[in-house]
Structure 1
Amino acid sequence: MYSVEEVRENYKRFPDAKIEKIARNESKGLRKEILTVLKDEIIRRQLNRSLISWVDSETQSFTGLERQSLIRKIQNQRCVKCSEKRKLYGFETHTVKSFLIGMSTSRNEQILCKPCGKQEKLNAIVMTFFAGWWSAKGFLLTPFTIFKDVINFLFIEKISDRILNGFVDDVTGSFRRYGTDDNVIYRLIKWKNKSDDN
């Protein structure tokens, strides 16, 4: 691990574009003392001051009652798939698709109501069942994947908690910048579900 002074010297050598990239894309994972170095470098170079606001919003995580309240608000949104107002859960699906010479696997997370989430899981299991066996690796991985997704039906609450907490962590900056009203939450859930579909 680099010392604060080593990081400070490295940041001084970086071009402006690299500092901006670190502020926008990597600040969430930096230690607090390194964040101070990054902000100092932005000020020293007279870069756009909005970068400091960006860094602050990305790194000010939700904790305690604030996090619990936000997760309840997320759970009380309309389902982005069926538009029904039901409690939302985080669902995880896995698919295996095999070809004679290759195989692809995918893992998706979506935030949906229970009926839509279960349907997505069943669709993934059916897809894997019919498309997963057609290569040597697929032949080995398909039964494991199907078994895992079937067993996960027993742990919907636990998996949902992990996915919802991960979602809050991933979009903390967006919540800090745009608020946590229903429209913002709905759009961010929709964005998450689409980005995990790809």
Structure 2
Amino acid sequence: MYSLNEIKENYRRFSDSKIENIARNESKGLRKEVLHILKDEITRRNLNPNLINWVNTEAKSYEGLERKTLLKNIQSQSCPRCNSETKLYGFETNTVKSFLIAASIKRKEFILCMDCGKKEKLNAIIITFFAGWWSGSGFLRTPYYILTDIFNFLYIDKISKRILDKFIDRYNGSFRRYGANSTTITRLIDLKNKNAQ
């Protein structure tokens, strides 16, 4: 692991665009001491001061009661598919498609109501059942993923919690910048579901 002085020297050598990229895309995973070095470098170079706000919002994660409240707010939104006002869950699906010599495996995560999530999982199982067997690797992987998706029906709450926690962590900065209101939550759920397709 690099010392803080080495990190500081490295940051001084980076181009402005590299510093901006670190601030926008990598600041969430940096230690607090390194965040201070990054913010000092942004100030020293007279880069856009909004980058410091960006770094601050990305670094302050939701914990405790604040996280529980946000989780409850996410789950109480209308379903993005059917618009029903029931509890939302996180779902994961696995789809295997084979093409003679190779198999394509896609894992997707969605935030949907129970009915829409189950339909999405069943659709993935059906596609895998009919399209997964047609290569050597697909022949071996298809039963595994079909059984995994069927078995996961027993652990919907546990899987949902993992997916929703990851969703909060992924969009932490957006919640901090734009507020954890219904409009922001709905927009980010739509974005996540769209990226999964």
For the aligned pair, the TM-score class normalised by the smaller chain equals over 0.9
Partner SS for 1:86: coil
- 1:183 & 1:15 partners in 2: Cα distance? 37
Could you tell me which amino acid in structure 1 is paired with residue 164 of structure 2? Answer: L
Structure 2 gaps of 5+ residues are none
Partner of 2:98: 98
Partner SS for 2:48: coil
Partner of 1:121: 121
Partner SS for 2:180: coil
Could you tell me which amino acid in structure 2 is paired with residue 192 of structure 1? Answer: K
Partner of 1:111: 111
Partner SS for 1:56: helix
Partner of 2:163: 163
Please list the CA deviations of residues 37-63 of structure 1 after superposition, one character each: whole Å capped at 9, or x if unmatched: 000000111111100000001111000
Partner of 1:55: 55
- 1:114 & 1:147 partners in 2: Cα distance? 20
Structure 1 gaps of 5+ residues are none
For the pair 1:18 / 2:18, whether they are aligned, the reply is yes
Q: Map residues 1-198 of structure 1 onto 2, 5 A cutoff.
A: 1-197=1-197
- 1:12 & 1:180 partners in 2: Cα distance? 35
- 2:170 & 2:179 partners in 1: Cα distance? 15
Cα drift, residue 108 of structure 1: 0.4
Cα drift, residue 177 of structure 1: 0.4
Please list the CA deviations of residues 74-123 of structure 1 after superposition, one character each: whole Å capped at 9, or x if unmatched: 00000000011110000000000001022110000000000000000000
Partner SS for 1:94: strand
Could you tell me which amino acid in structure 2 is paired with residue 155 of structure 1? Answer: Y
| Overall identity of the aligned pairs, in % | 61
Could you tell me which amino acid in structure 1 is paired with residue 65 of structure 2? Answer: L
Could you tell me which amino acid in structure 2 is paired with residue 161 of structure 1? Answer: K
Given the two structures, how large is their TM-score scaled by the length of structure 1?
0.99
Partner SS for 1:81: coil
- 1:120 & 1:146 partners in 2: Cα distance? 13
Cα drift, residue 4 of structure 1: 0.8
Cα drift, residue 12 of structure 1: 0.4
Cα drift, residue 70 of structure 1: 0.2
- 1:67 & 1:196 partners in 2: Cα distance? 24
- 1:97 & 1:85 partners in 2: Cα distance? 34
Superposition RMSD in Å:
0.5
Could you tell me which amino acid in structure 2 is paired with residue 78 of structure 1? Answer: S
- Which 4+ runs in 1 deviate beyond 3 A? none
- 1:23 & 1:183 partners in 2: Cα distance? 26
